[in-house]
Amino acid sequence: MLKNILATVGLAVVLKAALEHCREFQELKRGKQDGRKPST
């Protein structure tokens, strides 16, 4: 049972980190698109 709890906690930590990276990537992507708009 302890293994299952630890596995669940570990999964939550990994998912949280992945979500943060995804948000940061989307922000950078949006910033790059906004930078291109005035030049066209």
Residue 37 to residue 18: CA distance in whole angstroms = 29
Count each helix (H run) and each strand (E run) in the chain, helices first: 1, 0
Could you tell me the pTM of the whole model?
Answer: 0.69
Which pLDDT value is given to residue 27?
Answer: 92
What three-state secondary structure class fits 40?
A: coil
Give the pair of three-digit tokens for residue 20: 């943060």
pLDDT at 13: 98
Six-digit token string for 32:
């790059």
pLDDT in tens, 1-40: 999 999 999 999 999 999 999 999 999 998 888 876 655 5
